[in-house]
Amino acid sequence: MNITEATEKVKPHLTVKRFEHTQRVAETAVKLAHLYEASPKKAELAAILHDYAKYRSLDEMERWIRKSTLPKDLLDYHHELWHGPVGAILIEREFGIVDKEIQSAVQYHTTGKAGMSKLDKIIFLADYIEPGRSFPGIDKVRGIAEQNLTQACWMASKNTITYLMSKNVTVYPDSFHAYNDLTRQITGGSSLYEK
């Protein structure tokens, strides 16, 4: 599937604002892909597809989670987390996309996970830092994103978890696993307590 086809298929499923966000994520992902020697084509395609399931009904997303191999504990967490994993299924079923890298980047773009690939990191980060986003700390993450992909993902992960904890809401385990793994990567495997 090429970018034009993907865009035409995704656009009707998104609000105008969400489609504009998707385009900005795609532009950011392509820049990051060039910077970190990843496939710009895959990065752009994954970015265009990342929010495909965003506005599916909660009932439909719940059905997909229940009848698929997705972790059932997703249903115990906020439904905002469902669209990535469900989107990874739908892009295969509806568009025939069986590229595991693209599916993974779509699935984990909100939570992250331990062992993220370069493409996973690019989509996770592009979604976080795209130019339409504005919240405390984002400019620092944008600056680091130009120098160190893993450290920028770590900062985004840390900021997200800190924000969720400040709101006294649950945090999906994959988010903690992503943070822990990224922490190990940027510290060379040593514990921060040792520093």
- Domain range for 130 is 3-194
Q: Tell me the average pLDDT across 149-174.
A: 97
pLDDT at 188: 84
Q: Tell me the average pLDDT across 150-155.
A: 98
The structure's pTM equals: 0.95
Residue 10: CA atoms inside 13 Å, Cβ hemisphere, count?
27
CATH number, domain at 135? 1.10.3210.10
pLDDT at 10: 98
Number of domains in the chain: 1
**pLDDT one-digit tens code per residue, 168-195:** 999 999 999 999 999 999 998 755 444 4
Nearest to 49 by CA among 9, 81, 77, 80: 9
Token pair recorded at residue 86: 């469900």
pLDDT at 190: 57
Q: Tell me the average pLDDT across 86-97.
A: 97
Token pair recorded at residue 137: 């700390």
Burial 67-91 (b: 16+ CB within 10 A, else e): eeebeeebeebeeebbbbbbbbbbb
| Burial tier of 184 (Cβ tally within 10 Å: 0-12, 13-18, 19+) | middle
